[in-house]
Amino acid sequence: MDNGTETIAHGNGLTTAVDTIVAPRAAFTTLASVPTWGWAFLIAVVLGAIGSYLGGPANTHVGHIVFTQQAATNPQVAAMSPAQRASAEAISSTIIKFAPLMIPIMLLIMVLIQSVVLLVFNAAGHGKADFKRLWAGLMNISIVSLGLASVLLGSIAAARGADAFSSQRSLLLAVPSLAWIAPHATVKIAAFLSTFNITGIWAAILIYIMLAATAKLSRPVAILGAATILVGSGLLSSVFIH
């Protein structure tokens, strides 16, 4: 009987993924019993690829502008021959073109790191979740944190056109976020603040609900865990952007 029930529940992985968006408490209650994540992974990857494709022209355009600026300020770039510069830009454009292929690996790494972090909060708060359940919950949440976030940015970039973006900062300011309150901040500060946008905050709320429903953590611990993931994402963004 148990095996049959689990098989049926695993067959509803798509429903659970959708419920993460429309009925998150129900989704995370289900994930506490049957931690499914295959459908969520597929949806997040597909949405991420779509967003990456839509934003590709804007990223390529910004990359060209940044490289041109570096040629005027960076001695190493300035010392390149025209052929070397063309080759470097071609490599950069190819990386952007094939960025969607890297999304599955990036997603797995992101969810792994977040699962380990929340596992610490689960232990500290005497929660009832384990790595498998936290992993499944975060993978379902990645539909928002990676998938919808990518589609939102890509759609805005495509609607405005590549020429509307002239720097990394302009891309970071494309989506409404806390970065809007500091439009002249350095690119690293803008990267940090830009994570506090609609999808970033939405994902943090979902993490809070997951920690409360799946791990049965107290409200303060669940809030702290969700906030840590949100702030940590911002810090990572600021570290890796140039």
Q: Quick: pLDDT tens for 102-125.
A: 999 999 999 999 999 999 999 999
Which neighbouring-strand residues pair with 197? 177
Q: Find which of 68-72, 76-80, 112-116 is predicted with most confidence, using mean pLDDT.
A: 112-116
Residue 151 near residue 47, CB atoms below 8 Å: yes
Higher pLDDT, 242 or 17: 17
Q: Which pLDDT belongs to residue 98?
A: 80
Q: Which pLDDT belongs to residue 193?
A: 96
For the segment 140-181, what is each residue's pLDDT rounded down to a tens digit?
Answer: 999 999 999 999 999 999 999 999 998 888 999 999 999 999
Q: Which pLDDT belongs to residue 94?
A: 79
| Backbone angles phi and psi of 130, in degrees to 5 | -130, 180
Query: pTM of the full predicted structure?
Result: 0.87
Averaged pLDDT for residues 49-73: 83
Averaged pLDDT for residues 178-197: 93
Q: Which pLDDT belongs to residue 2?
A: 38
Q: Which amino acid appears at position 184 of this protein?
A: H
Please give the full DSSP string across 95-112, using - where no structure is assigned.
Answer: HHHTGGGGHHHHHHHHHH
Q: State the average pLDDT for the chain.
A: 89
Task: Report the candidate in 33, 41, 231 with the shortest Cα–Cα distance to residue 142.
Answer: 41
For the segment 214-241, what is each residue's pLDDT rounded down to a tens digit?
Answer: 999 999 999 999 999 999 999 999 998 8
Alpha-carbon distances, residue 167 vs 108, 180, 192 (angstroms):
29, 15, 16
d(CA 176, CA 198): 7
**Token pair for residue 116?**
């380990």
Q: Which pLDDT belongs to residue 58?
A: 92
